[in-house]
Structure 1
Amino acid sequence: MWSSVIAVAGTLLGGALTGLLQSRGDRRARQAARADEKAQALRAALGELVAALGDHRRAMWHREVLRLDGTDPDAFEAARNASRATRSAVTAPLVSVSVIEPALAQTARQAAEAAFDLRDAPDRATLAARRENAITATDTLVAAAGRAMA
């Protein structure tokens, strides 16, 4: 009789242990899947943000060169409308990066502000310096993202 009780108890304990180990394994798998999804979303948002910042820098460079050269008002207005569109395109990926990885929010914001700062440069030398600053800020964002995702 004792051997039957021990056999039943062993079977029950073995089943409980197996269930516990399987539950832990499933939890780890879900956590790993969530981490992979987050990393994939962050990579996509960063790619979109870096591309949007580059587009905005180019549009602002063109716009400001036209302004500094005193070009035709219609050409300047077209460039201004283009720069507004590119600035608007920065917003969604900037928010996405900030929400997905809050540790990158400040760096991402600084990169965006550096691109926005190309506006109203007093001369070409200042414009070129601001452009370099914006490129450096974007590079800093990419490096920070690499560290955050490592």
Structure 2
Amino acid sequence: MVGTLLGGALTGLLQIRSTRIAQSAARADQRAEALRRALGELVASLGDHRRAMWHREILRLDGAGEEAVEAARTASRATRSAVTAPLVAVSVLDRSLAEPARQAALAAFGLREASDHTDVAARREAAIAATDELVAAAGRAMA
């Protein structure tokens, strides 16, 4: 009788442990999926902002009319705002990616007020490189 009780208790403890392990694995999978989603959104929004800033700066440097420059400025503000949520999500979901994500965002934001076409092209290349580094860091973190 004591053996039966001990066997039942051991079985119950093993089931509890197994359930906790399964729940922990499910949470890790959900977190990884959320990180993949946030990274995809961040990289896409950074690309959108980089393109919007490139267009805005080229218009400004080429002396385009105020109406065209203002429309480009409005568009770039919208794309900049779209960076915020995925940037925060990536930074919270994986602290090791917070700095590369921040650097990629700052590089994209840094296309503003370029001094000439060469400068805006160099800033664009730096922003692309920073985004590439974020992707590489994410690959290392998720491996």
TM-score (norm 1): 0.93
1:86 aligns with 2:82: no
**Residue 59 of structure 1: aligned partner:** 52
Q: In 2, distance between residues paired with 1:25 and 1:136?
A: 44
**Residue 127 of structure 2: aligned partner:** 134
Cα RMSD for the two superposed structures: 0.7
Q: Deviations over 1:18-39 (max 9, x none)?
A: 1111111111100000000000
**Which 4+ runs in 1 deviate beyond 6 A?**
none
**1:9: Cα distance to partner?**
1.2
1:17 aligns with 2:10: yes
Q: In 2, distance between residues paired with 1:32 and 1:109?
A: 29
Q: In 2, distance between residues paired with 1:129 and 1:27?
A: 51
Q: In 1, distance between residues paired with 2:64 and 2:92?
A: 41
Q: How many residues align?
A: 143
Q: In 2, distance between residues paired with 1:143 and 1:28?
A: 30
Q: Deviations over 1:73-119 (max 9, x none)?
A: 11011001100110011011111111111111111000000000000
Among 107, 115, 135, the alignment partner of 2:108 is 115
Among 77, 90, 99, the alignment partner of 2:70 is 77
Which has the greater radius of gyration?
Answer: 1
Q: What SS does the aligned partner of 1:97 have?
A: helix
1:102 aligns with 2:95: yes
The letter for the 1-side match of 2:32 is: A
Q: In 2, distance between residues paired with 1:143 and 1:21?
A: 40
1:25-36 → structure 2 map (5 Å cutoff): 25-36=18-29
Give the share of equivalent positions with the same residue, in percent.
73
Q: What SS does the aligned partner of 1:120 have?
A: coil
